A and B are shown apart, each in its own frame.
Chain A
């Protein structure tokens, strides 16, 4: 009789313990900011709550962009410094594709029509951006697989070229891009006020995060993606074409970044070719905090950066950009590989 323990087919493998400590970073940062609000005379707890929820809304937009960047790195070890161009495109496509739906979009009576117009335009933008992403991958990224320095150089160059092409198409001025009519203004409950549009991005971002988690954890495709992030060669040895997976993820990542760009354009009420590069700075910080290749980490890190930026923008505006850097430094000191390191490179 054999002494080796046999795991029955229906018996599930031992689960990896869920590490929840990083999740508590969000309330910690939020609670550090609360007394500062009083100390700097910036308002009361309800203002702080408003800023917190608005920050989470912004964080989810950052997450939409960062998740694609992170998975693309995890899968093929590709550092795409040009990922921000998909954000810029998302904002411009938002302007372009909203034009045919303008009457629905501006209808003050019906939220449903407004949202339909918004999602039709954003969806079209995502589709076209995914196609642009495929072209970008083919021309810019593919020739430099395996060399980080060349990747950074070429993708930065690609972003400059693509950004300039945007200006050729849409002109150098900022184009107006407003949130839907029924979502402008704030929802007021007592002394607590909340921009409706930010609430919507928060809900959409959360839904997309859940979809992504389900897709990654409950489907074969997700299993393959996660396995490839951890060990590409092993998955290839089993006969799967990781390159094909990668191209799919690249296109989906581009589409998500485009949605993030449409929303972000509506936040700042305009589309121009600077918003992608500006967003990239946040993305880098988020990725370093999160750990390369981790989607869950990217969500936590994005929310952290979102709320930290939001508090700092009010408390000490000149130093706002340093706040997320400070958060990043603190996290690196604690966990040098990021909150949830996945990619082993």
Chain B
């Protein structure tokens, strides 16, 4: 049963299996640890599917898309724009289940069209153009979203309300005391499990894709495009299909993110920093493994919190030395992530998961 759920692509390393189990149980029980942990947990769930869908492109198809956060943002805007109070805009339907579903559908259709358009113009010509064109298009879309203040709320973004069942104001049971922590059973609690289940289903879906015959063809194209074409596979079509699938999953992740935050703004989902985060997560976790997404996203998001705190403490110790204290400023954590990233690409191209699997096989 478990084998079937994981599409026969098991962790293949006892250490990895143990880590994955800990993360799974941790995410399952997070809401019992209070509101702050719940927010972090939901973000981890959403980033796991965002990164897994990015791995489908980067690791399995061998194409680098810088537009992944654009699709993430489109999903979030789709749900947010349609859920604001009606009146001001013709598209605003107000909070409700109908508007959520409609928002998701519109966002998915839009993402599919854009992904098809980008694929048609870049993959047909030269695969490496894909990275360049996705970067340009996503920068253009981000500028558009920031400047169209009337429609998207500009840099301030959009605050909206969700159906009562998912709202933090709704309670369905009395709060309880657990290990000295007050646990409230509100709509946000339900929302967390919606996010959790959607993330789990999408994760298993991505695992299913990469282990399907379709996924095998993608890997064949990645490893030897010429040979795959010679066997008779339409390389461009497979790559385009993969990029569309990745875009759709990223869009769904964006919908969930906006629903959980009840907010959407350009910096929350579309910023270039988030794109870099995803790239770091997939490479550090392990490309072409899918499980790497779980490890990478969890590790990076936890590290982001604690590394910055740690840097704050260390920086106060060296605050006298001008250059060193600049290097250790909490805002410079991207510097250290970047260095780590370069080292991983050079020395451990298959990331943490690849390393663990190699160790399990006895390869050093």
Say if A and B assemble together. yes
Chain A interface (Cβ < 8 Å from any Cβ of B): 79, 81, 140, 143-144, 148-150, 152-154, 156-158, 160-161, 164-165, 167-169, 172, 277-278, 280-281, 284-285, 287-288, 317-322, 324-325, 328-329, 332, 336-337
Contact: B62 with A149, CB < 8 Å?
yes
Contact: A336 with B345, CB < 8 Å?
no
Which residues of chain B from 107 to 158 have any CB-CB distance to chain A below 8 Å in the complex? 121, 124-125, 127-129, 131-133, 135-137, 139-140, 143-144, 147-148
CA distance A164 to B345 in the complex (A): 19
CA distance A167 to B335 in the complex (A): 10
Contact: A336 with B131, CB < 8 Å?
no
- When A158-B342, A325-B140 are in contact, do A332 and B125 touch as well, CB less than 8 Å? yes
With a CB–CB cut-off of 8 A, which chain A residues contact B216? Answer: none
Contact: A152 with B326, CB < 8 Å?
no
Chain B interface (Cβ < 8 Å from any Cβ of A): 58, 62, 64, 121, 124-125, 127-129, 131-133, 135-137, 139-140, 143-144, 147-148, 272, 276, 279, 283, 323, 326-327, 329, 331-332, 334-335, 337-339, 341-342, 345-346, 349
CA distance A164 to B310 in the complex (A): 18
Contact: B121 with A284, CB < 8 Å?
no
Contact: B132 with A161, CB < 8 Å?
no
Residue contacts A-B, CB under 8 angstroms, 19 given: A149-B62, A152-B64, A158-B342, A160-B341, A161-B335, A164-B332, A167-B331, A167-B332, A288-B129, A288-B132, A318-B148, A321-B139, A321-B140, A321-B144, A324-B136, A332-B121, A332-B125, A336-B124, A336-B125
Contact: B335 with A337, CB < 8 Å?
no
Dominant secondary structure of chain A at its interface with chain B? helix
Query: Which listed residue, B62, B125, B137, B144, touches A319 by the CB 8 Å rule?
Result: B144
Query: Which listed residue, A278, A284, A321, touches B133 by the CB 8 Å rule?
Result: A284
- When A168-B323, A277-B272, A321-B139 are in contact, do A157 and B128 touch as well, CB less than 8 Å? no
CA distance A281 to B140 in the complex (A): 9
CA distance A332 to B125 in the complex (A): 8
With a CB–CB cut-off of 8 A, which chain B residues contact A81? Answer: 131
5 A-B pairs closest in CB distance: A321-B140, A284-B132, A164-B335, A161-B338, A160-B338
Contact: A150 with B121, CB < 8 Å?
no
With a CB–CB cut-off of 8 A, which chain A residues contact B272? Answer: 277
Contact: A284 with B335, CB < 8 Å?
no
Contact: B140 with A322, CB < 8 Å?
yes
With a CB–CB cut-off of 8 A, which chain A residues contact B342? Answer: 140, 154, 157-158, 161
CA distance A328 to B122 in the complex (A): 11
Contact: A160 with B323, CB < 8 Å?
no
Contact: B339 with A161, CB < 8 Å?
yes
Known contacts A158-B342, A281-B139, then 20 further A-B pairs from the complex at CB < 8 Å, ordered by chain A residue: A140-B342, A143-B346, A144-B346, A152-B128, A152-B131, A157-B345, A160-B276, A160-B338, A164-B334, A165-B335, A167-B332, A168-B326, A168-B327, A278-B139, A284-B135, A287-B132, A288-B125, A325-B133, A328-B133, A332-B121
